[in-house]
Amino acid sequence: MKIILAGPGAFGKKHLDGLKNIEGVEVVVLVGQPLELTQAVAVQYGIPHAMTDLGQALAHPGVEAAILATPTPIHAAQAMQCLRAGVHVEVEIPLADKWSDAQDVVDLQQETGLVCMVGHTRRFNPSHQWVYKKIQAGELKIQQLDAQTYFFRRKNINAAGEPRTWTDHLLWHHAAHTIDLFQYQTGERVVRANAIQGPMHPELGIAMDMSIQLLSQSGSVCTLSLSFNNNGPLGTFFRYICNNGTYIARYDDLVNGKEEAIDVSQVDVSMNGIELQDREFISSVREGREPRASVANVLPAYQVMHELEQQLNTQPTFS
């Protein structure tokens, strides 16, 4: 399968690392700007072509699928560009940073019938898969999911410490992981959602602290704390408080409430959540089926974020 990848930054490289482990896949074009940087990454990963224009890459002979690891504000437009070109697409989280754009992508996917998947990696991390399988088997029920998403950010830099041209967002990017995961793990829609946020950063123009509460149809609770002010361990940490045990997930690792390690090495064919995400995308294209984390599947999370944004827009501002 010939694939193009757009976005040679930190997460683009994570996808390229994962794709190396998947048989029958060839990345034939790397798309990004500036061209010199894109060419350097293409050489590093043995990709034969480097381009700056996504449309040109989509027209490359034999291209069947695309993976987008580009800036958030252009995710929806580029996903639709791929679908209109007849190319299956996986777009990194978030699908969009506003509700109408997310709806537009879903409408076009349903019109074309092509695979369009969103990179909601938490659905694929072995730690969360372990919990999911226990829930599906009737062995666990979530009473509360307590999540902490913490970073330390003062400038527009990516996960590799490199400057970028767009601004990150606690709600539309980082909360998207947990809101989607909560609905996926419980198998229920959110029926009530509340959010508050702290002051806007004078240069970045985004809230640096946020708190979110969610309630599922059967009464499961999700409490989510997010901050760009945390000068300490970075990342997202999930505590599953269940009717039959407590479990703490840290990316691909899992411990119980007493910090005793749980072996999740046999949950799936890899311990790399992004590789597993890419495997699901490629398999769904090959098998002609809807993937886990399809655009239609994750859309309810974006509706919740839209509702939370409406709440936050009515909140008093702080200096």
2-121+274-295: in CATH 3.40.50.720: yes
Question: What pLDDT does 159 receive?
Answer: 63
**What is 225-245 written as a DSSP string?**
EEESB--SS-EEEEEEEETTE
Q: Where are the alpha helices (DSSP H) in 35-125?
A: 35-45, 54-58, 75-84, 99-112
Positions of CATH 3.30.360.10 in the chain: 128-259+302-313
Positions of CATH 3.40.50.720 in the chain: 2-121+274-295
Beta bridge partners of 56: none
Work out the end-to-end distance of the chain between its first and last CA atoms, rounded to an integer number of angstroms.
52
Contact (CB, 8 A) for 282 and 65: yes
In this prediction, residues 238-244 reach a mean pLDDT of: 97
Q: Please provide residue 245's backbone torsions phi and psi, each rounded to the nearest 5 degrees.
A: 130, 160
pLDDT tens-digit readout, 166-221: 778 999 999 999 999 999 999 999 999 999 999 999 888 899 999 999 999 999 99
pLDDT tens-digit readout, 56-86: 999 999 999 999 999 999 999 999 999 999 9
128-259+302-313: in CATH 3.40.50.720: no
